[in-house]
């Protein structure tokens, strides 16, 4: 029924498992496209240009900011992250659903520009599990770990600005919860007003013709 694409924004504290959940969910939802972000941080092992991120120099990213080429952007732990604006606009206009996996700062920027998006906050089952996941990456220094873990409690305070909260206790369960949210939103009355108003009008016209 919905003709315009649905913008789905998934975010949460570092270590909540956003990337893992997205990777597991996308193959199960062919009508959901993944928006690739730009970043100035260095690629991690196994990450590919144009697949995981568009890797930019600081100068390139700041030029994109000046040219208003980003839907949202933020500086997180000394690196820039942002979402290319053109891709998202073209996908939504074509009726395709778009998934943004972004940090909390970016999600709140998107909400101001696209308040009709679906905003989902992913959280770990406990802070102990969050600590385990961050350390499990093997990419953090002691200083960066303290910075990331210390900010988690502060980031949790933004949950009330989202539409839904999903606990990532098991990846498969988290994926199914998000799938259910998306399907429910696609069937919501507010997103199908044009469709049902047309049906009401057709019904009224038919009633007039019958008389």
| 76 located within any domain | no
Residue 164 lies in a domain: yes
Residue 204 lies in a domain: yes
What pLDDT shows up at residue 150? 66
Look at the chain and report how many structural domains it folds into.
1
In order along the chain (211 residues), what is the average pLDDT of each group of 10 residues?
84 86 92 90 90 92 95 88 88 90 88 92 83 66 65 83 95 96 91 77 66 53
The number of helix segments (H) and strand segments (E) in the chain equals 8, 9
**How far is 8 from 70, CA to CA, in rounded Å?**
17
Q: Is residue 85 part of a domain?
A: no
Give me the pLDDT at residue 9, please.
97
Is the pTM higher than 0.85? Answer: no
Specify whether the CB–CB gap between 120 and 166 falls below 8 A: yes
Task: Find the distance separating the first CA and the last CA of the chain, reported in whole Å.
Answer: 30
Q: What is the pLDDT of residue 7?
A: 96
Tell me if 107 sits within 8 A of 119, measured CB to CB.
Answer: yes
> How many other CB atoms are found less than 10 A from the CB of residue 54?
16
pLDDT at res. 103? 83
Residue 195 domain-assigned?
yes
Domain hosting residue 120, numbered range: 7-35+96-210
Q: Is residue 2 part of a domain?
A: no
> At 27, which CATH number?
3.40.50.300
Residue 74: inside a domain: no
DSSP structure class, residue 170: S
Q: pLDDT at position 157, please? A: 85
The answer as to whether 86 is a domain residue is no
């Amino acid at each position: 029924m919905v003709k315009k694409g649905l913008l789905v924004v998934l975010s949460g504290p570092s270590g909540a498992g956003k990337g893992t959940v997205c990777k597991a969910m996308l193959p199960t939802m062919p009508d959901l496209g993944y928006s690739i972000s730009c970043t100035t941080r260095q690629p991690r092992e196994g990450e590919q240009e144009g697949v995981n991120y568009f890797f930019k120099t600081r100068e390139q990213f700041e030029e994109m900011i000046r040219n208003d080429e980003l839907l949202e952007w933020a500086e997180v732990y000394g690196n820039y992250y942002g979402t290319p604006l053109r891709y998202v606009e073209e996908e939504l206009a074509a009726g395709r659903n778009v998934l943004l996996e972004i940090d909390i700062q970016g999600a709140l920027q998107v909400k101001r520009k696209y308040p009709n998006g679906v905003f989902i906050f992913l959280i770990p089952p406990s802070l102990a599990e969050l600590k385990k996941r961050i350390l499990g990456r093997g990419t953090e220094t002691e200083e960066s770990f303290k910075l990331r873990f210390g900010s988690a409690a502060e980031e949790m305070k933004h949950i009330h600005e989202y539409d839904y909260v999903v606990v990532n206790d098991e990846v498969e369960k988290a994926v199914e919860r998000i799938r259910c949210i998306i399907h429910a939103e696609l069937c919501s009355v507010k997103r199908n007003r044009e469709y049902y108003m047309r049906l009401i009008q057709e019904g009224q016209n038919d009633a007039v013709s019958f008389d």
